[in-house]
């Protein structure tokens, strides 16, 4: 048999092997709440402090960082579950950056029924008080003990708390 001349297959465009982008995006483990900046700023203004919300979540450039917790409520968005729960132990990390900037990262929690993870609806007051208190403290403002003292709502479930999983929860 005459040898078949094999045609070079190099005509194919190299783009044929385009990388497929990852389908599932990573589950978010925390959120920031820039919309609550007004309430934080109002409290800071009482002590003549003016800070702006820093939109970038940067661990390396911050001057100070502090892990604490705030109150809020969760509503499971899993249609087959729809559990709701409140928490007085939502982990947050408050950070101060150069040039009077700050931000706060709020850690998500998992539903104890279906284990899906969700971001909280924060109690605005407890968030603003906690964040403002910390910034004032960093700025040397003399204050009484924190105005917000959340009573315990049962043992903290580290297995459901993203703050604990990140090593950032003050309840750990």
Q: How far is the CB of 92 from Zn ion (least distance, A)?
A: 11
Whether the Cβ atoms of residue 68 and residue 21 lie closer than 8 Å to each other: no
Specify the residue, 54 or 168, whose C-beta has the smaller distance to Zn ion: 168
Nearer CB in complex with Zn ion: 37/67: 67
Q: What is the nearest approach in angstroms of Zn ion to the Cβ of residue 62?
A: 21
Decide whether 31 or 41 has the Cβ nearer to Zn ion.
31
Name which of 116 and 141 has its Cβ closer to Zn ion: 116
Question: How near is the Cβ of 81 to Zn ion at its closest, in Å?
Answer: 3
Q: How many residues does the chain have?
A: 172
Least distance (Å) from Zn ion to the CB of residue 21? 29
**Smallest distance from Zn ion to CB 138, Å:** 23
Residue at token pair 């603003």: 128
Q: Which residues bind Zn ion (CB under 5 A)?
A: 76, 78, 81, 83, 91, 111, 113-114, 161, 163-164, 169, 171
Contacts from 113-119 at CB under 8 Å and sequence distance 24+?
113/76, 113/81, 113/83, 114/76, 114/78, 114/80, 114/81, 114/83, 115/160, 116/76, 116/77, 116/78, 116/81, 117/27, 117/28, 117/29, 117/162, 118/74, 118/75, 118/76, 118/77, 119/28, 119/30, 119/31
Between 111 and 132, name the residue whose CB sits nearer to Zn ion.
Answer: 111
């Amino acid at each position: 048999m005459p040898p078949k001349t094999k045609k070079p297959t190099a005509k194919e465009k190299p783009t044929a092997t385009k990388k497929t982008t990852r389908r599932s995006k990573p589950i978010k483990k925390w959120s920031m709440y820039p919309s609550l900046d007004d309430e934080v700023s109002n409290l800071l203004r009482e002590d003549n402090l003016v800070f702006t919300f820093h939109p970038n979540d940067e661990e390396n450039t911050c001057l100070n960082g502090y892990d604490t917790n705030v109150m809020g409520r969760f509503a499971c968005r899993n249609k087959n579950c729809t559990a709701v729960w409140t928490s007085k132990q939502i982990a947050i990390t408050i950070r101060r950056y150069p040039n009077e900037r700050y931000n706060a990262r709020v850690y998500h929690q998992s539903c104890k029924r279906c284990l899906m993870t969700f971001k909280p609806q924060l109690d605005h007051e407890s968030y603003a008080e906690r964040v403002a208190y910390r910034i004032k403290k960093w700025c040397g403002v003399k204050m009484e003990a924190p105005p917000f003292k959340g009573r315990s709502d049962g043992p903290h479930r580290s297995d459901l708390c993203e703050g604990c999983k990140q090593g950032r929860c003050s309840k750990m």
